[in-house]
Structure formats: structure tokens, C-alpha cells
A and B are shown apart, each in its own frame.
Chain A
Amino acid sequence: MRDLMVTSPRLRTEPDNSTTRLETTPARVTGDGSERGSLPGLSAGRAATITVESVSKWYGDIVAVSDVSFGVAPGVTALLGPNGAGKSTLLKMVAGLVSPSSGRILVAGHPPRGESADYRRLGLVPEQEEIYPFLTGREFVRLNALLQRLPKPDQATDDAIAMVEMGDAAGRPIGGYSKGMRQRIKVAAALVHDPEVLLLDEPLNGMDPVQRVRLIDLMKRLGERGKTVLVSSHVLVEVERFAESILVIVNGKLAAAGDYRTIRDRIDRHDHVIGILTDDPRRLAAVLVADTAIRSVRFDGPDRVIVETNDVRRCARIVPALARDHGIRLRGLQPADESLTSVFAYLTER
């Protein structure tokens, strides 16, 4: 099992502002430009493809990222945190789109805002939806292949489009794509040059369940092939399906880093609040309240039930099952925002 940095002696409380942070020790640079050492997120002896050392980013008086250090090795790593935690800013700094206010970032041993030639080894799937709407999906991917100076851009384009299963829609203008299709074509464009490092900012947003499964499978395959895949997400249960290790960011700080299962156990011990959209909230509440995993049930509007649970995993299993058994239609199930924030905040508590 990998190190769980949050439970290690590195975690200490700042006496001045009662925040917590992870102490880091200097990383050791290896011959291939990667780094080894005890950066949070790195197991002992593993080489880091991405090194983030004491990085902060502020915009005027607003601190977006505060003294964050971690390492990311080959495989799939999740950057987990609530909205506004600083995940996107961190990814942008790793990609070189934004420079840190202080600290150092290395990608495969090189600063990301250095030589443009270094972008051959990097692919980014940004969260933003904006893509050239007048280009077809194929033209957009091919444009990326050309900009990467690939020797066979058409072949690379076809391969990347096939990888995200967009062959049927690749000839249509991107302006007519759904959000999920845009995400997939962005992934294809980021993968067209077979990069060593792939950064994905909330890539599963807007995708339907089938598309999610396929993208998750793709990310896992890339990780197994030795690529370094760093994926941001604010959805706890989603991360379980693809990440081997997790970096938890809360309020711009690294709250936890390490193996998913250990962090998950810690998260699961905390109470969760889940919002359930249903056509029959009263009957669903009556059914759920009898289960031992449910601590309380309340109504929020005419079609929403708010459930508090101390066993989120059991809750995720029983709600659909009970609804099906009793003929109750579910229209949505997601953690309430306040719950998510409190869960992440819980990770930073001693």
C-alpha cells in the first residue's frame, strides 16, 4: 500500500492560523529528469514525473493555491477537491498556462513554461468547453496533430478519434456537439501526440454514464501503459473508479495525499449528506429511514429528499435498490454541496 501522507507525522498544525499543511522533504533528481523522494503523493522510491514544490498562487489579495507540494508518478492520480479549491489553478500551473507566484514545478524534469518543445510530452484537457465551433471534430484533432508536428497527422488523428469512439461524429462541426462529445474530442486532441503526461480537468463533466465508463477505462489503460495521468474531480465516488492515488486539495492547500482506499476509509467515517431527486419523496423517505445506514431524512422542495448517512457506500447501494423494489422512480442522486465541503474539511481536521 502506498503512503498515506495525511496520517503521517508530516501533518502539523500551523500555530498562527490553525490551518494544516504537509511538510515536504527535498526531492532527489534522477538521471532521467524525474525526481525521487518523499514528496506527498509519492510512494517511497517511485520517480515523480510531475513535481510541485512549495507552490503558491495568488491573485491580488486572493490566495488560490497555498504552499502546495506533491509528486505525481506514472499511473492515474486524482486531484480531488470541492469546487473553487484550487484544482484547476494547479493543473494550469502544471501545464504552464499560469506561472506560480512562488515555488517550483517540473514536468519530466523541465519547467512547464520553458521551452515550447517540451509541450511534445504534455497533453491537457481543459475544463472549459470553448473549442473552435466551426471546425469539425476531425479537423480540430488534426489541427492539434499538425501543431505537434507529427509525421503522420492523418493517421494519428484517426487513431485518437477511434480511442474516444468519436468516429461517427468526427465529421460534424464542434458547434453542434453535446458537452460530453466536446469532452471526448478534447481528450482525442490531447492524446493525438501520445503524450507522456496527460492532465485532465474535470473530464467526466457532462458525460453520460456510458461515456464515463469508456473514458475511465481509457484513463486506466493509459496509466497501465506508464503514462502519467493527473485528473481533477470534485466527485468522491467517481475518483474511486480510476485513480490509484489521490491528492486532496481544500482551500488551496494539500489536505491529504496517498492511496485511495486509505483516504476513502477516512472519508467514509465522516457523515455525508446526499440529495435525492425522486417523483415520490414521501414514500422514498419512509423506505429509507428504516435502514441502519440512514441517520436522518428530510424534504427539500417537492421532489427532493436529503439523506444524512454515516455509511455513504452502503447508502449508494441501497437507495437505487430500495427505490426499484418499491417502484419509486429516481431522477438524481448526488452529494449535497455542503456535505462535500464538510467532508473535505474533515480531512484537514486533526
Chain B
Amino acid sequence: MTILPWRPFPIMTLTIRQFLVGRAVRIVAALAAVPLLFALVYRINSEWSTVYAFLVDRVFLDVFSPTLLPIMVLILATGALGNEVEDRTLLYLTLKPRTRLRIVLEKFGGILLVAVPTILAGLALAFALASTAPGPRRLIDRGLDQPDLMPVFVAAMVAAFFGIVAFAAIFLAVSLFVPRALLVGIVYAFAWESLLGRFIGGIRLISIRHYVQSIFVSMLDDPDWTIANAFTARAAMVTILVAVVLSIALATWRLGRMQLD
């Protein structure tokens, strides 16, 4: 597919083109399909859990938000400017009458335009497939209705969107400070977001995962499903937006001071 540099946002369209011709999108698409795989397994045997509990607990809280989401966004976000630095093509962007903020914002926009549809599509398809599972026979035999899945779907989509935005901005900034940002990011995603953030309370409060899950459970508004020290959805969204603004500012500052040897 050919996307010519689009006049209003040439760097953003260039970034999308870079993603589409590279391996990053294919890897992210494969990872985005992992919840779908989970849903397929669940569809084959749904005796062990209700659809509701499967989607809330197993898919979103256990797998998607702590592990898959940061890894998927990491792959795209560290490549957007990080690859330009490693490939030594960044000078073609910086030696132009464009402010550093503009360059960072267009790169950020490019990441979002690829990450949001790819990641959310995987999640949506997983929800769609899992929702066709019958669930445990004991519930069916007792004539109990499954809870409405739409609130779970909406909460998951909104929380995932905010997670993508937050991780994209943070990893974009990190890629300008750390030479091997992808490796560092993978360690961060597994060690910080996935393991430590899950068990150590202090870390939890400075973990994007916690804010994403706060948005999710807050929007779900189900007393059976909550997380420790959860923020309100509004507070979590505001915190994420502040983190995004700070990350963009940091990336802009760094880009203006980089030595492009």
C-alpha cells in the first residue's frame, strides 16, 4: 500500500508508511490476536467461567492490560523516532523549518493511528468471539442470564485507548534517551508493569497499568470486580493525560538537544 506524504502532516504519514513496510505492525497484529486466541480456547470449552468473568478477569485484567498492551505499544512507539535515530535518518526531519514539538506530535499521531485500530480490533474481536460462548452449563440449566457484556466492552475499549495513548507518549520519549529502547521497554513492561506493579503497592501507583485498570473497573462499576487502591476513571484519565503532556514535553526537549553524529 502506498501512502504518499500528506501535505498537512508529512511526518505522520511517513511514520505510518514506516510501520506498514516494517515488521512492527505484523508483530503487533500477532500480539493483538492473543486475546482472540484466548477467546477461541474459551469458546471451545467455556465450562470453567462465565463469559463476563472470562473477559473481565482473564482477558483484560490478567493478560491484556499488564502485559500485552505495554508490549504492543512499546514496539511501535520506540520505533517511531528510535529507528530514525538508529538508521540515521532523523536529520532529514530535524534539518527542516519544523519545530521539534511538531515533529514529536506528528510521530505521536502516527503511532496512535496505527496502534489504536490494530490493538482495539484484536480486543474487540476477542470480545465478539467470547460472547458467542455458551458459558457454564450449570448456569444455563438453572436458567440464569449472562450479565450484559456491553459495559465490559465499552470499559475495555476506553481503558485500552487511554493505555495506548499513555504508553505511546512515554515510550516515544524513552526512545530518545535510551539507545536500545525496545529492550529496555520490554524489561520495563515485564518487570515493572507486569510483575512488580502487581505485587508491590508503591509501584502500583506509578504504573500505567494501574491507571488503565482503574479506568476499566471504574467504568465497569461492578462491586464484584475491582482492584486495590483503584482511582476513579476521571482521576486516572487526568493522570494519564498529564503523563502524556510531560512525556511529549520531555521528548521535544530531548530532540532539540540531541547530537546527531
Q: Given contacts A139-B4, A143-B10, are A134 and B21 in contact (CB under 8 A)?
A: yes
Select one of B4, B7, B259 contacting A97, CB under 8 A. Answer: B259
Q: Closest approach, in angstroms, between the C-beta of A111 and any C-beta of chain B?
A: 13
**Inter-subunit contact A142/B5 (CB<8 Å):** yes
**Inter-subunit contact B261/A130 (CB<8 Å):** no
Q: Closest approach, in angstroms, between the C-beta of A306 and any C-beta of chain B?
A: 35
**Inter-subunit contact A130/B95 (CB<8 Å):** no
**Inter-subunit contact A147/B261 (CB<8 Å):** no
Interface string of B1-40 (1 = CB under 8 A from A): 0001101001100100110010000000000000000000
Interface string of A77-102 (1 = CB under 8 A from B): 00000000000010010011111000
Q: Given contacts A92-B260, A116-B99, A134-B17, are A124 and B5 in contact (CB under 8 A)?
A: no
Q: Given contacts A92-B261, A139-B5, are A134 and B96 in contact (CB under 8 A)?
A: no
How many contacting A-B pairs (Cβ < 8 A)? Answer: 72
B88 CB–A CB distance under 8 Å: yes
Q: Which parts of A84-136 form the interface with B (CB within 8 Å)?
A: 89, 92, 95-99, 116-120, 122, 124, 126, 128, 130-132, 134-135
Q: Closest approach, in angstroms, between the C-beta of A188 and any C-beta of chain B?
A: 13
**Inter-subunit contact A148/B89 (CB<8 Å):** no
**Inter-subunit contact B96/A148 (CB<8 Å):** yes
Give complex CA distance A147, B99 in Å.
11
**Inter-subunit contact A126/B100 (CB<8 Å):** no
- Interface size classification for chain B: 20 to 34
Q: Given contacts A99-B259, A116-B98, A117-B97, are A144 and B4 in contact (CB under 8 A)?
A: no
**Inter-subunit contact B7/A153 (CB<8 Å):** yes
Give complex CA distance A89, B259 in Å.
11
A236 CB–B CB distance under 8 Å: no
Q: Given contacts A134-B18, A139-B5, are A147 and B93 in contact (CB under 8 A)?
A: yes
A229 cross-chain contacts in B, Cβ below 8 A: none
Q: Which parts of B74-105 form the interface with A (CB within 8 Å)?
A: 87-89, 91-100
A219 CB–B CB distance under 8 Å: no
Select one of A98, A118, A130 contacting B87, CB under 8 A. Answer: A130
**Inter-subunit contact B5/A116 (CB<8 Å):** no
A11 CB–B CB distance under 8 Å: no
User: Which residue on A lies nearest to B11, using beta carbons?
Assistant: A147
**Inter-subunit contact B97/A116 (CB<8 Å):** yes
B259 cross-chain contacts in A, Cβ below 8 A: 97-99
Q: Closest approach, in angstroms, between the C-beta of B200 and any C-beta of chain A?
A: 38
Give complex CA distance A168, B94 in Å.
29
Q: Closest approach, in angstroms, between the C-beta of B139 and any C-beta of chain A?
A: 52
User: Which residue on B lies nearest to A95, using beta carbons?
Assistant: B95
Give complex CA distance A322, B96 in Å.
51
Q: Which residues of A contact B (CB under 8 A)?
A: 89, 92, 95-99, 116-120, 122, 124, 126, 128, 130-132, 134-135, 139, 142-144, 146-149, 153, 189
